[in-house]
Amino acid sequence: MRRCIKEASERRGRIANDVTLIAVTKGVGINEINEAIACGITDIGENKVQEAVAKYNQLRILHSAFRTMKWHMVGHLQRNKVKDAVKIFDVIHSVDSIELAEELNKHLDRKVDIFIQVNISGEATKFGIKPDGLLEFSEHIRRLENLNLKGLMTIAPLIANPQQSRPYFRALRLLKDKINCADLSMGMSNDFEIAVEEGSTYVRIGTAIFKK
Ligand SMILES: *Cc1c(COP(=O)(O)O)cnc(C)c1O
C-alpha cells in the first residue's frame, strides 16, 4: 500500500501542477483511505452513492483534514440516488442525460461542478453522450443554474496498449475546445500518462494507488 502511494506520488511529480489526482476508492477500506489522505490525497472518487455516503460519514469523524477534501462522483448516477449524492459530492463527472442534469439541478441548493460524460469510443456498453449530440446537450446544461459545466469526461476502452487510447483522448480534447470549456476528466491507472499528454486535467486512479 505505502509503496503504491509512493509510486503514485512519484507519478504525480511528473504530472503538471494543473492536473488533479483523484484517488478512486471504490471497494477500498477506511484505513487505506485514511493512509492515502495522510500521504497527501485530497480528492476522493467513488462510483456508488451508498458506499460513498458511508465512507464520507466515517471519514468526517476520523480525519482532521476532511474539510479541505473534495468528493468526486465518477460512476454512473441513477436519478433516484441524486438526493443523497448532492449532499456529499463536490464534483459530478458522469452527467450523461438531460433527465439526470435536471434532477441534479432541482435538488441542489448550491452550484456544483459537473462534467459531461462522453461515449467517445461508441461502445454499446458505455454510458455517455454521443459526440454529435454534445453541443446541444452542453447548451442545455449551461441553462441550469446550479450546474457549473467544467468540462468533459470519458472512459477509454480497455486495451492492452495504452498508446491505443491516445486517439480517444485527443478526440475528447477537440470536443472540449468545440464547446468551450476548461477541463478534461480522463485517464485511469493503465492510461493516465497518455491522457495527461493529451491534456487531461483530472486523472481518476484506483488500482495503481491501492492494489496490494
Ligand atoms: C474504477 C474507476 C476508475 C479507476 O480505475 P483504475 O483502473 O482502478 O485506476 C476511474 N474512473 C471510473 C469511472 C471508475 O469507475
Pocket of ligand 1 (CB under 6 A): 24, 26, 47, 74-75, 155, 188-189, 204-208
In 3-state terms, what secondary structure has residue 212? coil
Paired residues of 43 in beta bridges: 70
Task: Identify the helix (H) or strand (E) that includes residue 10.
Answer: helix 2-14
The set of cell numbers assigned to 127 is 454510458
Task: Identify the helix (H) or strand (E) that includes residue 7.
Answer: helix 2-14
Q: Per residue in 6-42, pLDDT tens?
A: 455 566 555 556 789 999 999 999 999 998 988 889 9
**Which one of 74, 118, 120 would you pick to mutate in the ligand 1 pocket, going by the greatest count of ligand atoms within 8 A of its CB?**
74
Ligand 1 center to residue 24 CA distance, Å? 6
Each as own residue / partner, the long-range contacts of residues 133-138 (CB below 8 Å, 24 or more positions apart, any chain) are 134/175, 134/178, 134/179, 135/178, 135/179, 137/98, 138/179, 138/181
Percentage of the chain lying above the pLDDT 70 cut: 91
In 3-state terms, what secondary structure has residue 181? coil
Paired residues of 205 in beta bridges: 23
Q: Per residue in 99-121, pLDDT tens?
A: 999 999 999 999 999 999 999 99
Q: Per residue in 152-174, pLDDT tens?
A: 999 999 888 989 999 999 999 99
Write b or e for each residue in 5-42: b if 16 or more Cβ atoms lie within 10 A of its Cβ, otherwise e.
beebeebbeebeeebbbbbbbeebeeebbbbbbebebe
Please tell me the predicted confidence (pLDDT) of residue 4: 43
Please tell me the predicted confidence (pLDDT) of residue 69: 92
Residue 189 CA, closest ligand 1 atom number: 9
Which is more confident, 208 or 95? 95
The residue contributing the CA closest to ligand 1 atom 7 is 189
- Residues contacting 71, CB < 8 A, separation 6+: 43, 44, 45, 46, 52, 56, 88, 89, 90, 91
Q: How far is Cα 49 from Cα 189, in angstroms, rounded to an integer?
A: 22
pTM score, whole prediction: 0.92
Q: Are 10 and 192 in contact (CB under 8 A)?
A: no
Mean pLDDT of 197-204: 92
Residue 192 CA, closest ligand 1 atom number: 9
